[in-house]
């Protein structure tokens, strides 16, 4: 099986698997970034660093 074309198939499977893993990890990271921005905004509001109007405007700017 590992003569000629077999090695290419194995290599393609390994590269494909690596791409899937990187995409899965990257996607979750992107999602976490958006959530962490909202969490930081909520924390600033809870600590009294920003007022209600600023909180609502920034929340709207984040698209949430």
> What predicted TM-score, i.e. pTM, was given to this entire model?
0.47
Predicted confidence (pLDDT) at residue 1 exceeds the cutoff of 70: no
Predicted confidence (pLDDT) at residue 62 exceeds the cutoff of 80: yes
Asked if residue 3 belongs to a domain, the reply is no
Q: For the chain, how many structural domains are there in total?
A: 1
Task: Encode pLDDT of 2-61 as tens digits.
Answer: 677 888 898 999 999 999 988 888 755 545 556 789 999 999 999 999 999 999 999 999
Asked if residue 1 belongs to a domain, the reply is no
CB 48 within 8 A of CB 22: no
Asked if residue 9 belongs to a domain, the reply is no
Asked if residue 31 belongs to a domain, the reply is yes
Range of the domain at 39: 24-64
Q: How many other CB atoms are there within 10 angstroms of residue 27's CB atom?
A: 10
């Amino acid at each position: 099986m590992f003569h000629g074309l077999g090695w290419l198939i194995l290599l393609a499977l390994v590269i494909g698997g690596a791409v899937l893993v990187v995409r899965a990890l990257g996607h979750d990271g992107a999602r976490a970034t958006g959530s962490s921005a909202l969490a930081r905004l909520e924390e600033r509001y809870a600590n009294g660093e920003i007022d209600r109007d600023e909180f609502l405007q920034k929340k709207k700017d984040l698209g949430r």
